[in-house]
Chains A and B, each alone.
Chain A
Amino acid sequence: MVEERRVAGTTAGAAPGAEISIRGLDKSFGTLKAVDDVSIEIPSGEFLALLGPSGSGKSTVLMMMAGFEVPTGGQILIDGQDCTRLPPQKRNIGMVFQHYSLFPHMTVLDNVAFPLKMRGVGRAERRRRAGQALEVVRLSGYGDRMPAQMSGGQRQRVALARAIVYEPRLLLMDEPLSALDKNLREEMQLEIKRLHVELGITVVFVTHDQGEALTMADRIAILRGGQIQQISPARELYERPANLFAAGFIGEMNMIPANWDGSCLMLGQGERILPPESAFVSQPVQGSTTLAIRPERLGVVPAGTPGAVRANLTEIVYAGAGTLIIARLDDGTEVRARVPSAGLPPLSAGERIGLTLPPEAMLVYGEIAA
């Protein structure tokens, strides 16, 4: 790894990744508020994913970091320097675009050398360093080709080489893998992850694919309607979503309406549940709350087992190692359980079953599921 670092030309000593501070960032397009008071602190060398559905403002945040959009409010600091209104060409940022955006009239080598040319690096030195960058993305020997002669995955690696060739301290990626097919996407995820580790560069990665964000990022910021819902490491995001949107957006989540009377939860059909103190993500006021639980944390037991919630089995989907159980509570709420197939008693649709809710898997939110 040390060898590879030297090859990529990272300056020894100083931390290679930039420290980013985004403070109260706003962006309005007319009356539409695309980004609303977004603040993120990104430490040097972090891989941060901006995750959200389309229209959530994640791309707009990236565009403002790159300098393509001017914020209507707030600040962006890169290594302590206020870059909010700095034009893109003065930011020294690497960027990979969704559709590669390689210049079609230049060879692969000239594409990669382009940022160096713009920085006044001499021709021989340019070619040498571009060649090295191509080596880093494992495309040595492809320098003389035109971009049109490369496959999608190769093009994206050329784009990656072009983005890192001048050793930027920050790399922005705008859904860089969405144009690739599934196998290539997984390969590129590992490739990008490897580069991040080797170069120690700070990466901000925009995606709408939660799997991609969970696999690659150190931390994930979930956006919705221009606002940050949660910024957490992948595991925390999955195990303890900050609100119901985050809970529903990442993975599968059962959301059971319940009534909080100040001491225990009452389900619609009358069962009383006493969640542990730690289950309360947000403190409910008395009245309607939501009890959330991941399908793989539920257990299936015979009806009438003490402590189990009664339900009607509506569907069993056998899928090899695991089985998906879809059941309905008496108040009509659908609940899904993913249980190991081994040891599951024979069940049939319409049967009365019991569902166990382990206390440590319970999450209680003081809001009602939409």
Chain B
Amino acid sequence: MTLSAFFQPNGRRLSSAGIVLLMAPFFMLIAFAFLYPLLSLLSLSVTEPTPGFGNYAKILDNPVYGKVLLRTLWIAVLVSALSLVLAFPVAMAMVSSKGPMALFITACVLLPFWSSVLVRTAAWAVLLQRNGIINSALQFLGITSEPIRLLYTQGAVVVAMTHVLMPFMVLPIYGALRNIPADYGRAASICGAGPFRSFWEVTFPLALPGVLGGVILVFLTALGYFITPALLGSPQEMMIATLISQQLREFLDWPFAAALVGVLTLFVTAITLLFSRVFRFDRMLGGQL
């Protein structure tokens, strides 16, 4: 059998052998650059310094680690919620505008992708610093009498992470909204629904697959986010990624860092499964509009 036979279209589908061949490079990359390091790291967590679950017990023993984990979850929830609230109107504007306006909004949404996360985070540091524009404005308006601490707070982390991750919320919602035929809105209004009810009864439920997709993307990314919390966050209020980095680089405690990675991975997996179970994710995406 020649190689081309694998790709002979059978109807519109490739043969299963063809699919395997197409996916092979990707799987090899995943296995080499993700699965292998992850598994070797995780094995480190149960073999060093002594075999067993000592590293995990250490996480449970000290309430500080539990707090870090809870704080991380909380920040991820906040960032997801804030992104959703900000992203939905943007996605709706993208769908309902056309021509140059649509191009402009799309460019605004995608613009952050053209600069590095580091630059965007540093920009927030500039804005939020003691003598930054926000503190100056607050004083000028007489709201505060002296500079207040904005940088190195949980608030700074939430705001900046929302800014960085929002495009990941906008795009799936935009995709879902764009698939809703214009006639649905018309049908709702001729049936007697005003704009508000039309949104809650028809538009929002039909956009739900996009919303869930966006929430999962943003939430899971936020859970493991490093740069922004590291640069803008308070050292007293660490997130798990900064904690892992600290264990690795400052204390050189690889096995313990690996255990933390294990816990984070467990959470990510559990939350993904929960989402797909509760919201019947597969069915919603496969559902016919």
Contact = CB atoms under 8 A, between A and B. Distances in A.
Interface of A: 66-68, 87-89, 91-95, 97-99, 101-105, 114-115, 117-119, 148, 162, 166
A91 B289 contact: no
A93 B191 CA distance: 8
A101 B183 CA distance: 6
B99 interface: no
Contact of A89 (B183, B192, B202, B205): B192
A83 to B, nearest CB: 13
Contacts of B187: 95, 97, 101-103
24 contacts: A66-B186, A67-B190, A68-B189, A87-B194, A88-B186, A88-B190, A89-B189, A89-B190, A89-B191, A89-B192, A95-B187, A97-B186, A101-B181, A101-B183, A102-B187, A103-B184, A103-B187, A104-B206, A104-B287, A114-B201, A118-B191, A118-B192, A118-B197, A119-B192
B193 interface: yes
B interface majority secondary structure: helix
B288 interface: yes
Contacts of B188: 103, 114
Return the 6 tightest CB-CB contacts between A and B, nearest first.
A118-B192, A115-B191, A101-B187, A101-B183, A88-B189, A95-B190
Given A104-B288, A105-B205, A99 B181 contact: yes
A97 B192 contact: no
Nearest to A92: B192
A133 to B, nearest CB: 13
A103 B202 contact: yes
Contacts of A94: 190
Report which residue of A87, A88, A114 has the largest number of chain B beta carbons within 10 angstroms of its beta carbon: A88
A115 B186 contact: no
Interface in B171-202: 181, 183-184, 186-194, 197, 201-202
Contact of A115 (B184, B192, B205, B289): B192
Nearest to A63: B186
Nearest to A172: B190
Contacts of B189: 67-68, 87-89
A114 B187 CA distance: 10
A151 to B, nearest CB: 14
Report which residue of A103, A148, A162 has the largest number of chain B beta carbons within 10 angstroms of its beta carbon: A103
A118 B193 contact: yes
Nearest to A94: B190
A306 B189 CA distance: 66
